[in-house]
Amino acid sequence: MKSTDHINYISIYDKIEVEDALFSRIEAIKKTLTIVTELDKWNFAYAEGKWTIKEVVQHCIDCERIFSFRAQHIAREDNQNLNFFDQNEYAVKSNANAREVKDLIEEWDHLMRSTHYQFLSYNDETLARIGKIGDYEYSVEQLGYIIAGHAIHHMNIINERYI
């Protein structure tokens, strides 16, 4: 994630509650993935060196797990340092292109619903807690918006460049 990406992800949903952002994205994502399935473009990359749609979806799954862990880490006031990760190394090692499409879709659907419930469990005090990741400080609530916005950002890229 570049230093300004988190601001862009947060701004996608800045007018609604974080729990609503996490829930409302599910249908939008499923709609895009349905179109990808209908067009049979799962193994398509729009340019040399770009990820396939399977790799993009796996990237979203990986990031959602990492970001939701970060939110839980801060929510529980864990003081251990958290660092960034190399998304490109994760993609290389993900084995996404060998996965079954239905498994990717089902996994992400369950994960999104789980993340939604995770954030429903946080009260206002918990959502306002701040922790440090790398050199940046984030609230639990901001991480929820980042999770939702990051997924929609990638669906927008799929809609614009892949289909």
Q: What is the pLDDT of residues 107-144, one digit of tens each?
A: 999 999 999 999 999 999 999 999 999 889 999 999 99
Please give the tally of structural domains in the chain: 1
Average pLDDT over residues 73-101: 94
pLDDT given at position 115: 98
What CATH number does residue 149 fall under?
1.20.120.450
Calpha distance 163→157 (Å, rounded):
9
Residue 4: the pLDDT is: 64
pTM: 0.94
Specify whether the CB–CB gap between 74 and 138 falls below 8 A: yes
CA trace torsion 21, 24, 27, 28 (10° rounding): -60
Which residue range forms the structural domain that includes residue 33?
5-162
Whether 3 shows a pLDDT value over 80: the answer reads: no
